[in-house]
């Protein structure tokens, strides 16, 4: 595949491709044959074993909606977290400038005070001006030059004093504005966190109300839906048009993502023990030496877009119309992703979800 020894990844990609490419359309996603029952054989009038109930399909759709809403809220939380970090850093920088400005202002005020005290000591006549009272013409000329220099120095000092005071006021105003923004981002984070927890709690409650056999059937429904979408994507012949080779940085990003396989999804997490979707992709590219935006929406907005047929391993695939999910393409029609709460970092089909587009961090 072009990025070294990836035994786990290669095996997983092989499974993804084998299931989707070799399966015959129309039969690949049929429900598994029911386990033989020990109960008496049905009479001719008895209905055969029904497929998964519509109610269970509705549960699957509802879970998709809940986890999608949680993903959207997670992106909002991550965006607020990033902005809060930036604002905190700006406040620290402004505090340093304010401290330096206050020290400079104190020095200038000391200089001005010393000049005022000296003028008072000499009866209101600056020492340089006293030369003008001399009967010696040479001293008068020298004194005139000193007076001019003193006036310029005093004017410069007063100008610097005024400028420093203005800068301090500007820094203070900027810091106050940053504090207000920081407070707003903290509020946004809290609101997003509440929504995330509400959506996940509702999904978990919905799943917990199912019997074990229904939970197992639900898991199969989810897998079948993903495989069906992947097969439909592959049936377009897309893989025949994708021949991109990973860049050196792309190989490093894929290697990093591969090493995270099996680690749990945790919303807001960016490693090293757990990840959310954009936490995984942003850290993969940070490990490759190319920092990228933290959220999937920012990655979609700020990184270069490339056509699907031109994508290569290491590129990021953005999913859903609202760019609420992202995964890293690893080649052969497969991705590595941190899918949702309750799941782990895993290999999946690149076409198993609605693709919004592809972006390239190292364009």
pLDDT at 14 over 60: no
DSSP category for residue 37: P
Of 129-138, 211-220, 309-318, the one with minimum mean pLDDT is 129-138
pLDDT value of position 274: 97
Q: Each residue of 89-138: pLDDT tens digit?
A: 888 888 888 888 778 777 777 776 766 666 666 555 555 555 544 555 55
Angstrom CA distances, 180 to 84, 173, 248, stand at 11, 11, 43
Residue 293: pLDDT over 60:
yes
pLDDT higher at 343 or 126: 343
Distances 296 to 46, 183, 279, 300 between C-alpha atoms, Å: 51, 24, 9, 6
**Of 112, 161, 142, the residue nearest 120 (C-alpha):** 112
276, 268 Cβ separation under 8 angstroms: yes
91 vs 200, residue with greater confidence: 200
- Work out the end-to-end distance of the chain between its first and last CA atoms, rounded to an integer number of angstroms: 21
Average pLDDT, the chain: 79
Helix (H, G, I), strand (E, B) or coil at 310: helix
pTM for this prediction: 0.67
CA 196 from chain centre, in angstroms, equals 16
Give the tens place of pLDDT for each residue, 222-276: 999 999 999 999 999 999 999 889 999 999 999 999 999 999 999 999 999 999 9
Q: How confident is the model at residue 25 (pLDDT cuts 50, 70, 90)?
A: very low
DSSP E strands in the chain: the ranges are 304-306, 316-319, 325-331, 334-337, 346-349, 355-360
Is the distance from CB of 345 to CB of 260 less than 8 angstroms? yes
């Amino acid at each position: 595949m072009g990025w070294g020894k990836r035994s786990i990844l290669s095996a997983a990609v092989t499974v993804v491709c084998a299931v989707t490419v070799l399966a015959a359309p129309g039969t690949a996603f049929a429900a598994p044959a029911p386990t033989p029952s020990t109960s008496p054989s049905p009479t001719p009038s008895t209905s055969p074993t029904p497929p998964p109930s519509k109610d269970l399909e509705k549960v699957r759709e509802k879970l998709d909606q809940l986890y999608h809403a949680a993903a959207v809220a997670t992106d909002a939380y991550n965006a607020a977290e990033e902005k809060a970090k930036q604002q905190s850093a700006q406040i620290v920088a402004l505090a340093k400038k304010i401290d330096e400005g206050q020290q400079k202002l104190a020095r200038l005020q000391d200089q001005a005070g010393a000049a005022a005290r000296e003028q008072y000591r000499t009866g209101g006549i600056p020492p340089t001006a006293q030369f003008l009272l001399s009967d010696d013409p040479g001293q008068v000329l020298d004194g005139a030059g000193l007076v001019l220099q003193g006036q310029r120095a005093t004017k410069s000092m007063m100008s610097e004093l005024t400028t420093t005071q203005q800068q301090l006021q500007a820094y203070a105003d900027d810091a106050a504005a940053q504090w207000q923004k920081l407070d707003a981002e903290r509020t946004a984070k809290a609101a997003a966190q509440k929504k995330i927890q509400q959506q996940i709690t509702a999904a978990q409650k919905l799943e917990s109300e199912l019997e074990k056999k229904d939970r197992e059937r639900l898991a199969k429904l989810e897998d079948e839906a993903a495989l069906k979408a992947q097969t439909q994507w592959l049936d377009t012949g897309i893989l025949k048009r994708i021949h991109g080779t990973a860049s050196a940085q792309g190989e490093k990003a894929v290697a990093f993502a591969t090493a995270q396989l099996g680690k749990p999804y945790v919303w807001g997490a960016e490693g090293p023990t757990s990840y959310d979707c954009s936490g995984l992709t942003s850290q993969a590219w940070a490990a490759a030496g190319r920092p990228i935006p933290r959220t999937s929406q920012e990655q979609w907005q700020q990184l270069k877009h490339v056509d699907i047929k031109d994508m290569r391993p290491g590129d990021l695939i953005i999913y859903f119309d609202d760019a609420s999910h992202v995964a890293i393409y690893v080649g052969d029609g497969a991705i590595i992703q941190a899918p949702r709460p309750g799941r782990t970092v895993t290999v999946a089909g690149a076409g198993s979800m609605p693709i919004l587009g592809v972006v390239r961090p190292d364009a």
